[in-house]
Amino acid sequence: MVLFAHPDDAEFMCGGSAARWTREGCEVHYVVLTDGSAGSNEPGDSREAMRPVREREQRAAADVLGVASVTFLGELDGLLAVSPETRRKVCREVRRLRPEVIVAPDPSRIWHGDGYINHSDHKAAGELALTAIMPDAPTRVMFQELEGEGLEPYEVPNLYLSVSEPDVFIDIGDTIETKLKALACHASQLSIEEVEPWIRERAKLVAEMSGEQMTYAEGFKAFRFVDDPIEE
Ligand SMILES: [Zn+2]
């Protein structure tokens, strides 16, 4: 289960890994927290106009990667908050999908270098992943009303956070082209010609960080919460 704030975040964060996992037979499910409705700064554009565009682009990108399902939780882009309501929504998806792994952004990332402030929605998305893992999804009395929907508590075994200094590396040498193809679906947000060079550069850098024989990689900080690890 990939949990993220905006249509296109997942492709940046883990598009190559998602493509590889689906190729290898894993089911990958996307849960998109916001509606992407703040994705245009053009005078005259509205949230109402953007919403369907973002959803269409996200579904197209997911299709390219072989993602099994895309669920939109419909929060307002730019105003994502960690609240009892959003926690309940995420908890519902976790208990429904019962994922082996949640992939999510790093909630502790406030800025990077001296030229980048992380979007507050990204931090909230990361925090919502953490609150789902502990305490919401496994604790029966948290959102007990979900039992009425047939959703039993669930302990998430693994978390992959997308961090700047990863400790787990996924070789995306065979899937970086697919990642780029998926990113290109977000035409309202980016020009693939502009984005491609730094996507390759970042993936190359992460591959070097791995110390292994990889051309391109995506990296995560991996948490394992169970004693009985899933098969590699
Ligand atoms: Zn974003």
Indicate the pTM of the whole model: 0.96
Ligand 1 centroid to residue 19 C-alpha, Å: 20
Mean pLDDT computed over 188-195: 97
Query: Is the pLDDT confidence value at 229 over 80?
Result: no
Query: Is the pLDDT confidence value at 226 over 90?
Result: no
pLDDT in tens, 61-84: 999 999 999 999 999 999 999 999
Predicted local confidence at residue 46, as pLDDT:
95
Pairwise CA distance, residues 13 & 204, whole Å: 14
pLDDT band at 227 (very low <50, low <70, confident <90, very high): confident
Ligand 1 centroid to residue 172 C-alpha, Å: 21
Predicted local confidence at residue 208, as pLDDT:
98
Ligand 1 centroid to residue 109 C-alpha, Å: 13
DSSP-derived secondary structure for 65-108 = HT-SEEEEEEEPTT-----HHHHHHHHHHHHHH--SEEEEE-TT
Ligand 1 centroid to residue 159 C-alpha, Å: 19
Residue 217: name the closest of 135, 141, 136, 162 by CA.
162
Predicted local confidence at residue 231, as pLDDT:
56
Ligand 1 centroid to residue 119 C-alpha, Å: 7
Identity at 139, one-letter amino acid code:
T
The residue assigned the tokens 């590396």 is: 169
pLDDT in tens, 4-49: 999 999 999 999 999 999 999 999 999 999 999 999 999 999 999 9
pLDDT band at 131 (very low <50, low <70, confident <90, very high): very high
Mean pLDDT computed over 129-138: 98
Pairwise CA distance, residues 18 & 142, whole Å: 30
